[in-house]
Structure 1
């Protein structure tokens, strides 16, 4: 539900603009406000779940997300929906790290791999199927008010989730009351804000040079102060927002880096492909979404299989998935300039291959990144992993979209050329992720040799 709202709303933006007579800046913040709040809240929310009751934080997040969705759907003024999207992002940020924390705490061994398999399949399907579902809802509700269904559909789901969570999710065992590190929360949140702001605030007409990149310097200073504060807070014997010992867990660090670069390429693929199909070839929102359905099918299938195989093959599974995606994207890059007719159907086999590869990346990487993290820090670790993925997504979308539209303008509206040009960047992101996967694969093999484990 939370990840679907990242991609589904993009399809609804023209309908929202017409229905509320909203300006471009407001429309931009319908997307940016959600992404900013989501990314900022993830790590503090993971820490809050670790320190207090994970079930309570999850249920509060679902309640906030559901109410905000209802407000979005009922909005009568542009400011309503922009503000409600920020609140919705806060709800999503509260929910997401609790999921990985629950899986880390409640499952062991192969069962944990299967649970993360379902989680990874959900991530892949939610991202890929967003344009399909958004187009379908807008078609059902009409261009004027169909966008309201995009938000209202969350309300019954959210209510059902609250009932099921209260009944089935376990109550955390009461232990010593832990510090929530409020100063660390403020410093980290501010640093993430200044990282994400220049990435999500640009419009389609902005070039990369027009974004306020100087804010990244402010973020770097805040992160340095945050690290110093965390060290000082640790020396007092109190719990910190981010366990700095996580940087010593090599599998976690490499997994975070791999996830960041993979999501930078993974998320941007769907956006530029949708723009190519809709603006370049005249596909409707629903037709463009259906054209990307093979990726969703492949991703869901291999994610479920990958969850079962990760204990057996480990990082090799991720490397295999990244290799398949790289090959598929290179083939798309070579094919697109020469395709005509039903392009979506002709790309289906390649997108299926990319989806099969994608499903082998997300699930195993989550499992392998957290397998050496203590369960007591699972929420904070999972939150940091998710934050890195959100930052990666924002970086990828900002860079790839800016290059895509610059190429469209410079090539007199040649969308096929723009897609091919922007794919070079997405391929580069995936290749960097692949290099990190290979590095971790070699490291794990050396560790096995040193310990004498077969």
Structure 2
């Protein structure tokens, strides 16, 4: 892509890129508060409801890496438009669903559309921006991610509580349709058109069968099968069969890794994912921080929704409104964190993970206070604000640092791999924490279940903190090595004198 147009209108470019991202992620969090209404409206059983949430995430995870690779090969603009159109049309299909099967098919297709879209956004940011501007762009992207996760329950609650029965949950999907139409218009006007395709990209008119082989179909099948087998136990089969499926999935992923190595030895440009990505410490460590954080962060909102609606008897709108303090902190700080990440990024990660642990412990303490004379939802709002601050520190810093050494022509695949890991870890965390919540609830109260779940989430956050400390240490070592290498010519010159 040409950078000239981007430099003239960077704000317009970011609006075009991030608006569909907001809608795609909103479709995860807003549906959480709509589940009871869907259950009544479509007479859906618990298994069907589980797939309403998880089918989207599963399809999203499957599409990310091959879509990223396709964008790296053939250009990202066309796939961006494909993802937007697919997401908009399948959102309409979900909104008019007449039974659970139709809704779940639509949700899977929505996930595929979002999965095609996401790596193109990351790839275009990596390609169009450099240095502090890239950090600021990733900061804005993280603001949008955080706002979508945090305000989704509020928007969903608004539709469910303030519209007629069997209409509100449909609006949580239907709202994506006008967004998709607007995005198509502004993207056509504002997104830079590609420069002549470089050697590693193929013209859309030249996508012959031979060109399609460059997408690595064997790798595509192996990776998709591995992801499905690993994620299914956290969605449907939480038993010995699920454990066997997960083990089989790990074996398939190991086979995919072997295949990618073998393919690269034959042709360096052939693999779906260049495994040299995993030799970049900045990519591996910072992606790990973010993946581990996503194991623990989304379950907070899932547990909070259950506790407020089922435990305290509040409506979906109030349950959603509790996300506002977090959203406000994200809106205030994410972009600034992204701007200063090149200089302070590792410190942001350490501070953010420490705050996340403190905030989740604070959630448990706030719930405990509910049983005393000092209990108030205001306490819960304060600690959720701290949770938003942790998101504002962690997500833009980790995203920017993870991509800082990734070449632009590998950005789509790199972003797809990182996002896939986040989806898998999120599914694991949701399954684990919800399992604990309902196990405790079976013999106790919602308050006890919430306090135990908060303590467990805090323990899970320590893994992200440990990785953040390791990433910060590695960044310090790399900076010292760079300073020493810069000093060598000066020392040599001094010795010569």
Class of the TM-score when normalised by the shorter of the 2 chains: over 0.9
Contact kept, 8 Å, 2:366 with 2:379, in 1: the verdict is: no
Q: CA deviation at 1:28?
A: 1.8
Listed as ranges, the gaps of 5+ residues in structure 1 are 203-207
Structure 2 length-normalised TM? 0.87
| Residues 366-425 of structure 1, C-alpha deviations (whole Å, 9 max, x = no match) | 0000101111101111111111111111011000000000000021xx111111111122
Q: Counterparts in 2 of 1:189-338, with a 5 A limit?
A: 189-201=224-236, 209=239, 212-237=242-267, 238-338=269-369
Measure, in 1, the Cα distance between the counterparts of 2:190 and 2:29. Answer: 29
Give 1:167 deviation, angstroms. Answer: 2.1
On the 8 A contact 1:291/1:345 being kept in 2, the answer is no
Displacement after TM superposition at 1:5 (Å): 0.6
Does the residue aligned with 1:3 lie in a helix, a strand or coil? helix
- 1:187, 1:222 within 8 Å by CA — same for their partners in 2? yes
CA distance in 2, matches of 1:41, 1:399: 24
Asked if 1:36 is matched to 2:58, the reply is yes
Q: 1:35·1:200 contact (CA, 8 Å) conserved in 2?
A: no
The alignment status of 1:26 with 2:56, answered yes or no, reads no
Residue aligning to 2:17: none
Q: How does 1:34-433 map to 2 (within 5 A)?
A: 34-173=56-195, 174-176=197-199, 177=202, 179-201=214-236, 209=239, 212-237=242-267, 238-340=269-371, 343-411=376-444, 414-433=445-464
- Secondary structure of 1:213 counterpart: helix
- TM-fit CA distance, 1:283: 1.0
Q: Deviations over 1:11-58 (max 9, x none)?
A: 111111211222222222111211110111111111111111201111
In 2, Cα distance between equivalents of 1:85 and 1:354: 29
Match of 1:76, SS state, is coil
Tell me the residue number matched to 1:13: 35
- Is the 1:263–1:389 Cα contact (8 Å) retained in structure 2? yes
Q: For the Cα contact (< 8 Å) 1:141–1:149, is it kept in 2?
A: no
**Which has the higher mean CA deviation after the structures are superposed, 392-401 or 170-179?**
170-179
CA distance in 1, matches of 2:49, 2:239: 22
Whole-angstrom CA distance in 2 between matches of 1:130 and 1:380: 28
CA RMSD in angstroms, aligned pairs only = 1.6
Secondary structure of the residue that 1:289 maps to in structure 2? Answer: helix
Q: CA deviation at 1:295?
A: 1.1
How big is the shift at 1:175? 2.6
Task: Find the aligned partners of 1:32 and 1:437 in 2 and give their Cα distance.
Answer: 28
Shift of 1:162: 1.2
> In structure 2, how many angstroms separate the alpha carbons of the residues matched to 1:383 and 1:366?
12
| Greater than 4 Å deviation, 4+ residue runs | 208-211
Pick closer, same or farther for the CA change 1:290–1:299 going to 2, 3 Å. same
Larger CA deviation: 59-68 vs 420-429: 420-429
Show the counterpart of 2:478: 447
Matched-pair contact (CA < 8 Å) for 1:114–1:304: yes
CA contact 2:161–2:315 (8 Å) conserved in 1? no
Is this contact kept in 1: 2:369–2:376, CA < 8 A? Answer: no
Give 1:346 shift: 2.2
